[in-house]
Chains A and B, each alone.
Chain A
Amino acid sequence: MATTILEPAHAAAYAKRSVLVEWLTTVDHKKVGILYGASAFVFFLIGGLEAEIIRLQLMKPDNHLVSPEFYNQLFTMHGTSMIFLAVMPISAMFFNFFVPLLIGARDVAFPRLNAMSLWVFILGGLFINFSFLLGAAPNGGWFGYAPLSSRQFSTGVNMDFWMLGLQILGIASLAAGVNFFTTILNMRAPGMTLMRMPMFAWSVLVTQVLVLLSFPVITVALILLTADRTFGSSFFSYTTAGGDPMLWQHLFWVFGHPEVYILILPAFGIVSEILPVFSRKPLFGYSAMVFSMAFIAFLGFGVWSHHMFATGMGPLADSFFSLATMLIAIPTGVKIFNWIGTIWGGSLQFKTPLYFALGFIAMFIIGGLSGVMHAVQPADLQQTDTYFVVAHFHYVLFGGSIFSLTAGAYYWWPKMFGKMLDEGLGKLHFWLMLIGFNLTFFPMHLSGLLGMPRRIYTYPAGLGLDGLNMASTIGALILAAGFLVFIYNVIRAWRSDAQAPADPWGGATLEWSIPSPPQEWNFAVEPVVAEKDVLWAMKRAAGVRTLPEPARVSGKGIHLPSPSWWPLLTASGILAFMVGILVKGPVTHGFPFGLVSVAGVLLTALSIFKWSYEPVDHPTTHTPH
């Protein structure tokens, strides 16, 4: 046990490393989290830029700001980036940084595997975006419907980038899924029973179940697509051989619907942390929250075909999937009522995180309602593939996930970086975002109902769409301004010397009991948990509102995993493998695999082998001090 004080066990090894090497080889979950967040934010900005160009193109009828082909690349990359390179990894930043802190652990269960997930994700994101430099970014929509994605209709490397890039990102998600599932089940501090866990930890646990059971399906779908595009089979294209594009749609959505819950459940978790703290009241209906989340996840596996009503599955299948989809509204409603129950009668502290959390509730309700409208199959036939659907998923994804992630950023920023973000700027950010968001996306309900198809390059004047589109574009610019304010806020905080206290908000959970930012080993003394909202319990027991500022200690004798190059090298091997397939392109005679792929496999295999035999602690650990 780490109660004695000494130098951190591997300080010597660390001291020799340059900053760059330190970050490249880090296995500290907090550094990994920050790297996730920073890289995801860059991808988020790129995706946002793509969105702004899309909006400028649609600003007025018959516009030709960009070419139709580039427009296709823009919306495809926008969707793909926002889902796989922004919302998922920004969530992953919070998983990484806060799950161990919330459950009272010193690290995740598999620190090096964690670092590998990070690098695979970053390399995968760079890989997909690299396509822009070749002028061949993916252009078949974020769900790559066959046969549009087959070689016959997509001869360039555009969709190769998409399919191989998603494959890379899937590896990162699956590895992280195994890691966080194990961490939450097995690394909890003594006394931290499952039903005492903070709700965010619960949301991560449930999310990982979804990841683990849905990502393999898209892995297979992408493998089959690779077989089609690169090795000449015809799983998804109508040929005399009898391939069936419907198989792609099914496999994609068997993954795709759980995926939308992968995007929203962490957001649920974050809001469930913030609302109690800023209402000074425990979360209302804790166990109902847990069970409704589990129920949502479970049902989430049985509704995928609601994305395919227009394919003519027949009345039986349509009715089944309609009903199953509507059923999801029940546990979702339970959660919304519980959030409202949490703030009801609370003494609300109107700080920026609360603003965003409340914005989340309101926007998510609107998105949920239009979701239920889609669930009604006859109505959906009118809405599908129109801007109405675009409005729906932006209300749940932007109004839901992004509002909540932003709330989380303001809430946890002081803990992550030891600096407070400015309240005034934060509130300005909020109002710009709320107004900009609604101005952008609410009109899309109307343009959709008027019949404006999604993924349309331009539209003629006089259809009643002009004003609505102009409004959306203005809204999008306001949204962008909101994020500029956020960036300014971050830079300001970065520059300032003011140190954030350990517990600026009067928190209820363990991360607020340790210094901001946390020391490498998180907890100098392993916490012991006797009830929910453990920090509140500790404050009550001590009869204080805030606990004394925790001292920074030198963690003598605390063993931490030592840094490693192998995760990064493993990830590089995976990247090389995919690059090999990419350059192979259409089936050629001669060498069956690109040499690059072979080299990639060898590098990955070697790295995993080396990693397996690498001592987990650095040897200096064992030299007596």
Chain B
Amino acid sequence: MSDRKEVVIRGVGSSHYGRFPDRRVESLAWEAILEAMQDAGAEAGEIEAVFVGSVFGPPGVATRTLRGIGIGGVPVITIEAACASGTAAYHEACEAVALGRYSCVLVFGIEHLSSLFTRGAIVPEATDSEGRAGLPLPGLYALQAQRYMAQFGTRPEAFAEVAVKNKGNGAHNPRAQLKGSAPTLDEVMSAKMIAEPLTFLQCCPVSDGSAAAVVGRPKGRRGEVRVLASAMASGQLWDHRSKEFWGEGPVRRAAQAAYAQSGIKPSEVDVLEVHDSFTIGEILTLEALDLCKVGEGASLAPSGHTQRGGQQPVNPSGGLLSRGHPLGATGTAQIAEIVWQLRGMAGAHQVPNAKLGLVETMGGGAAGMEGNASVVSLLALR
């Protein structure tokens, strides 16, 4: 490991998140990239490679985006790993810098779903056996929630509590799609049922947006955030032999690798941004991250542990449940949020004394596999 070079996040930026059907997809990326470049104090000429995360593109979106800012002639790689596309791009950029291939890489995630899914929810993939059979993504997560309730005697309110916490946080996040909206437990529980036990307010909104980061060798500039660890794990077979919940395996393996790389224990993390596309997702994720034992994740929000003023705040930005879920941009949005938290720049949703941050993204949606990929990264101010 000693020949690995130190990697920092020099700067971050993002667009607002929401439905912007009348905006060019590139314009969202430009907003994120310009903010990140300025934040990093980086010139276009310093960028040695560009790593892009996007699920639905459109094809060519990376190059069309770069035309506007005059970055070209360097390797441009677009990565798709479902909801983890942005963090997968970030992870590959970190690895490339750590191994000495590049010293400065631009990363961005970009997604424009409002021009693709004209009636709101994501249409399940017809080439996937479960998508073709009519299983929507909230249905997949609802199945995990049902199994979870049966296994641990959890009540549906425990899932709703995650939405109350995250949307309450997101109400203070000016970039969030659902800013200003903080529903009560009753409102979450009585919202329209989507797939039992998950109500509408327990499902993340479908969004447009972009977030960017400049990753590279340290320059000694104020605000640089050190990448203590970044690990990616892809899914394995998820079948009749599996003892774990769907999606749990990749998160657990990525987390274990990230903890091992950094020597950091789960209990030492001060602030987390994790994949809460559906409320049950946050609970399963926190168990896979070893913040608690399996079966105890549902108590973390109600007990206050993961609340903004708690011992280990989770999704102080509002998470995907409030920020929205521009698939390929979500991972880079999470990175940007943790960078702002570590610098004390998060504004109204700032967490006190955040010194060690964790980002986790989980992408899935291929029948018979645990997931497409999960990325876990540990970050601290340099």
Q: Do A and B bind each other?
A: no
Interface residues of B (CB under 8 A from A): none
Interface residues of A (CB under 8 A from B): none
